[in-house]
């Protein structure tokens, strides 16, 4: 999978299985009380090709995919997407860029500020979201339904 030469040739089904397995590894380590293993599993997840590929796919295929950050960069071609997947592997020297400020008019005539991060920042945020999500779901209140994946207020019956 990690030796894909083209973005179109990435096996997304295998990436999703890898996502599930690595997230289960994080969860098992947490349940065993081994926080060192949790951090190691999260690091494995963030560095894995599958995680990076899924993060790029999620950021470049969502509703805000054409929104440019302060660097004015968009990932439109498959070559650019694959290049980012390979370049984002080492995050030891990563530093987030400033956000682009846009002001949106409110109903009362005032303006509301909106910060738009760069594409790379959104990809890194998604990577870390994938690594933290299993722990967030495990430690969340069982009766909480707000802002949680695959849950809604209608599920509390």
Whole-structure pTM value: 0.81
Closest by CA position to 52, among listed 98, 4, 116, 118: 4
Q: Would you write out the chain's pLDDT as a tens digit for each of its 157 residues?
A: 556 778 888 999 999 999 889 888 888 999 999 889 988 888 888 888 999 999 999 988 878 777 777 787 888 888 888 888 888 888 888 888 888 899 999 999 999 998 889 888 999 999 988 888 888 878 877 777 766 666 776 665 5
State the Rg of the chain over Cα.
18
């Amino acid at each position: 999978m990690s030796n894909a030469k083209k973005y179109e040739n990435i096996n997304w089904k295998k990436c999703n299985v890898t996502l599930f397995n690595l997230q289960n590894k994080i969860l098992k380590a947490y349940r065993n009380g081994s926080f060192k293993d949790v951090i190691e599993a999260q690091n494995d997840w963030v560095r894995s090709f599958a995680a990076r590929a899924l993060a790029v796919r999620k950021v470049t295929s969502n509703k805000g995919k054409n929104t440019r950050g302060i660097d004015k960069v968009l990932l439109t071609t498959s070559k650019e997407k694959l290049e980012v997947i390979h370049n984002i592997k080492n995050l030891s020297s990563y530093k987030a860029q400033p956000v682009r400020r846009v002001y949106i008019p409110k109903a009362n005539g005032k303006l509301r500020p909106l910060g738009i991060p760069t594409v790379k920042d959104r990809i890194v945020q998604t990577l870390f979201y994938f690594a933290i999500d299993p722990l967030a779901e495990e430690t969340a209140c069982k009766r909480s339904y707000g802002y949680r994946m695959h849950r809604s207020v209608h599920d509390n019956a």
